[in-house]
Amino acid sequence: MKKITSIALLALLFTNCKQSSNEESKPIEKPADTITVVKEEKKTEPKEDCKDIEVEMGDGRECILQDTNLDEVYQNIIKNKEVEESNYFLSTIPSERKSVKVNKEGLISIDYEIFKDKVTISMNYEGGVTEVTLEKINNTVKRSIFHYAD
């Protein structure tokens, strides 16, 4: 009787171990990830070729931007805050000469002068002037930013 009981217990253990090992060998099925990758069309920033320029009573920087236009460069100045207080710029380049009174953060006014293929923006401060010039030359734009002290 002891032999039969021992054999039965061994058979149960063996059967139980065999079931466990079969379950372990099965791959765990996961639901497929439902994350969809959205291909975002990124507009590449125009290539820049810049140089620093020292002027009397100030300093500046001139950049030649490849394959762009005046509107894109203007929007990038605002978006990238390339000039302090550019948040006071008009949302688009005006079509004619315009002056905007600001009187905030030391900025008195912003004057826009519009020419064919050229825009000059003068930011008049209590202690000086920042002048931004955008000039379209073929498929490039020359962006100049100069800071002058009074």
What pLDDT, in 10s, does the model give residues 97-131? Answer: 999 999 999 999 999 999 999 999 999 999 899 99
Identify which of 81, 95, 93, 96 has the alpha carbon closest to the alpha carbon of residue 130.
81
Q: Give the span between the Cα atoms of 84 and 107, in whole angstroms.
A: 10
pLDDT band at 41 (very low <50, low <70, confident <90, very high): very low
Burial code (b: 16+ CB inside 10 Å, e: under 16) for 35-74 equals eeeeeeeeeeebeeeeeeeeeeeeebeebbbeebebeebb
* Strand segments (E) across the chain: 48-55, 58-66, 98-104, 107-115, 118-125, 128-137, 140-149
Tokens 């073929």 locate to 138
Residue 63: is its pLDDT beyond 90?
A: yes
Q: Give the span between the Cα atoms of 112 and 124, in whole angstroms.
A: 11
Q: Which whole number is the average pLDDT over 121-142?
A: 95
Q: Which whole number is the average pLDDT over 79-108?
A: 94
Residue 143: is its pLDDT beyond 90?
A: yes
Identify which of 40, 39, 37, 83 has the alpha carbon closest to the alpha carbon of residue 60.
83
pLDDT cut 70: percent of the chain above it: 69
Joined together, the tokens standing for residue 130 give 């920042």
